[in-house]
Amino acid sequence: MFAVEDRAVQIAWAWLPSSDMTIEIGDQRLEVGIAPPAWYREARGGRPVRVQGGQPLPARAGPGAVTVGGLEPSTTYDVCLKGPGTPRTKVASATTLPKPPGRLLARFASISDCHIGERRLGLFNSLHDPRPRPRGMVPYPTRCARAAISEAESWGAELLVAKGDLTQKGTADELYAVIDIFRSAAIPVEAILGNHDIRGPLKAAEVMSSCGFPVSREPRARDLPGARLVFGHSPVPDLHVGAVSAPDAAAMARLARDTDGPVVVVMHHPPQRWLVETHYPPSISWPDSTRLVSGLVAANPATLIIAGHTHRNRRYPVGGLTVAEVGSTKDYPGQWAGYSVYEGGIRQVVFRVAEPSAIAWTESTRRVLGGIWGWWSPGRLSDRCWTLEWPNRVVAAS
């Protein structure tokens, strides 16, 4: 059970016993079972083997995900699976989230850490697209990002927010590839830069801005019905740690104060939770984090901070505010987040990117760091799916 909303859930699987399975939830039946793409490398007996398109596919079907709508809020459902040789078996249960208070006012989506231009992954660069790539296949960061945007649009997002590390090295080719992706979106795009974007010799902000995507380091705001988005700049050249200068923190607090409603602050780096950093890559430095968060709390206690950078899903309080990290589109589990803005709160739901060639890639990245990545990155359901009732009451999925 990867995601729960008030009226929908997303079920994801690493594999199924056959490609002819049925999932039952409530009174709905879904035929599922996706044969893995021909290039999908599946680990068997510890050795990666290629599943050839022309050869018989393995009995079991590849990774996939399906979103099931039409459910009732605050209701627990059994999820059952059946198919050839598999009797009807309960495999999971799901409890939908309650509906947040008031009317639904707006929906937006976020993507993070697309790293367009990355070619390989893993300690020994052992994970990569097939070489040569099959005709028509675009590199994995691009197909994951495009699929995430397409699925966010289908979900109903009216705005896309890209939270930095758009590129791997900030080169011209990579930046123009990002611009190409954003231009193909059917909804407006707001973007900020990450540490990877400012690695290159180019001024990424100037390139992006000249193509219609303003990513200047000065804080800025965009108002949606029911919430103001405030965008901040946190990357530092040649460093993984983030920083927010005193003038930037003051400007962000001003933007949070000068609005009647709640605020969602969008950063690449999250603020640091503890005095001592407990994970890698590092967040915004401790002094900058405390200054930023205390300024925001004083300016507008109905503030949520959303970030990327860590390629993992987490939710935690910092200085009285809720902070949500959402992982990368292209690393296991491969995700985007949908935000529903209500009169009385905001709901975050993190979905796996479900397009078959994207999820086949992200599933293969589960084994990075000897499999630790597959355990570390997804976070708990309560990290991914929750409602924040303004100013600071969290109702999380469980």
Decide: is 165 part of the binding site for Fe ion (CB under 5 A): yes
Decide: is 197 part of the binding site for Fe ion (CB under 5 A): no
- Smallest gap from residue 328 Cβ to Fe ion (A): 6
- Smallest gap from residue 317 Cβ to Fe ion (A): 22
- Smallest gap from residue 285 Cβ to Fe ion (A): 14
- Nearer to Fe ion by Cβ, of 107 and 312: the residue is 312
- Smallest gap from residue 304 Cβ to Fe ion (A): 20
- Nearer to Fe ion by Cβ, of 143 and 309: the residue is 309
Decide: is 194 part of the binding site for Fe ion (CB under 5 A): yes
The DSSP H or E segment spanning 193 is none
- Nearer to Fe ion by Cβ, of 194 and 200: the residue is 194
Decide: is 42 part of the binding site for Fe ion (CB under 5 A): no
Question: Mapped to the 3 state alphabet, what secondary structure does the chain carry?
Answer: CCEECCCCEEEEECCECCCCEEEEECCEEEEECECCCCCCEEEECCEEEECCCCCCCCCCEECEEEEECCCCCCCEEEEEEEECCEEEEEEEEEECCCCCCCCEEEEEEEECCCCECCCEECCCCCEECCCCCCCCCCCHHHHHHHHHHHHHHHHCCCCEEEECCCECCCCHHHHHHHHHHHHCCCCCEEEECCHHHHCCCCCHHHHHHHCCCCCCCCCEEEEECCEEEEECCCCECCECCECCCHHHHHHHHHHHHCCCCCEEEECCCCECCCCCCCCCCCCECHHHHHHHHHHHHHHCCCEEEEECCCCCCEEEEECCEEEEECCCCCCCCCEEEEEEEECCEEEEEEEECCCHHHHHHHHHHHHHHHHHHHHHCCCCHHHHCEEEECCCEEEECC
- Smallest gap from residue 129 Cβ to Fe ion (A): 19
Decide: is 310 part of the binding site for Fe ion (CB under 5 A): no
Which part of the chain contacts Fe ion (CB under 5 A), choosing from 39-47, 208-216, 247-255, 309-317? 309-317
- Nearer to Fe ion by Cβ, of 362 and 387: the residue is 362
Using an 8 Å Cβ cutoff, are 110 and 163 in contact? yes
Which part of the chain contacts Fe ion (CB under 5 A), choosing from 126-134, 182-190, 192-200, 349-357? 192-200
Which part of the chain contacts Fe ion (CB under 5 A), choosing from 29-37, 43-51, 306-314, 352-360? 306-314
- Nearer to Fe ion by Cβ, of 11 and 198: the residue is 198
Place of tokens 């209500």: 342
Which part of the chain contacts Fe ion (CB under 5 A), choosing from 60-68, 73-81, 307-315, 355-363? 307-315
Question: Mapped to the 3 state alphabet, what secondary structure does 116-165 carry?
Answer: ECCCEECCCCCEECCCCCCCCCCCHHHHHHHHHHHHHHHHCCCCEEEECC
Decide: is 195 part of the binding site for Fe ion (CB under 5 A): yes
Decide: is 331 part of the binding site for Fe ion (CB under 5 A): no
Pattern 62-101, Fe ion, x by CB under 5 A: ----------------------------------------
- Nearer to Fe ion by Cβ, of 116 and 249: the residue is 116
Pattern 124-163, Fe ion, x by CB under 5 A: ----------------------------------------
One residue of 113, 129, 355, 389 binding Fe ion per CB under 5 A:
113
- Smallest gap from residue 13 Cβ to Fe ion (A): 26
- Smallest gap from residue 40 Cβ to Fe ion (A): 24
Under the rule (CB under 5 A), what is the footprint of Fe ion? Answer: 113, 165, 194-195, 309
